[in-house]
Amino acid sequence: MSEQGFSRRHFLKVSAIAGGGVMFGFQLLADASPATHLADTIFSPNAYVSIDASGLVTLMSPNPEIGQGVKTALPMILAEELDVQWDKVHVEMAPLDPSKFGAQVAGGSGAVRGRYMPIRTAGATARQMLITAAAQQWGVPESECTAENAFVIHKPTGKN
C-alpha cells in the first residue's frame, strides 16, 4: 500500500470492478480513430493505445518529436506498464484532437513530463483490462493472473 492508503494496483482493480475498467472522463478513454493501416486492431482501450493481432502496440503520441525524446521515452513508459518489449511499441503522431489528447504542443521540454502520467495510466489500464478479460475467459481468479513479456499468464495452469 502507498502512503495514500492504497496501491496503484488496488486502485485499478477496484476501478475495473466498479466500472468495467478505469474511466477517465477527460482524454484517456476517448475513442481513438485508428489509422487505415490499423484497421485490423483487436484491442483499443483508449485514445493512446492500440494492440493489433500480431501483438504490435501502437502509441498515439499527441506531441511531435522535436528533440524532447517523445519517440523514445513515451513508448518506454508504455512498454513498462504493459510489460511488453520496447521494440514492440510503434509510435504514431496522433491526429490533432484536443478533446481526446488535451494540448498537443511542442516546446519548453514538457512533452515527456506532461504525458508521463497519462501514458503510464493508459498502459496500466490496458494491462489490467487484458488481465481481467483473460481471467474471465479462463474462469480463474484474476489475482492468479499476471502480465509478463507481452502475455497474460495464469501460473497455476500455465495458460497464456
Kindly report, residue by residue over 121-144, the tens digit of the pLDDT: 999 999 999 999 999 999 999 999
**Grid cell of 1 as nine digits:** 500500500
- The predicted-structure confidence for 26-66, as pLDDT tens digits, reads as follows 333 344 444 444 455 478 888 899 998 888 999 999 988 88
Q: Report yes or no on whether pTM surpasses 0.85.
A: no
Is residue 1 helix, strand or coil? coil
Give me the pLDDT at residue 49, please.
93
Percent pLDDT > 70 in the chain is 74
Contacts of 33 (CB under 8 A, 6+ apart): 95
Task: Quickly state the pLDDT bin for 8 (edges 50, 70, 90).
Answer: low
pLDDT at 155 over 70: yes
d(CA 50, CA 69): 21
Question: What domains can be seen in the chain, in order of their start residue?
Answer: 8-154 (3.30.365.10)
Give me the pLDDT at residue 31, please.
43
**Grid cell of 138 as nine digits:** 479462463
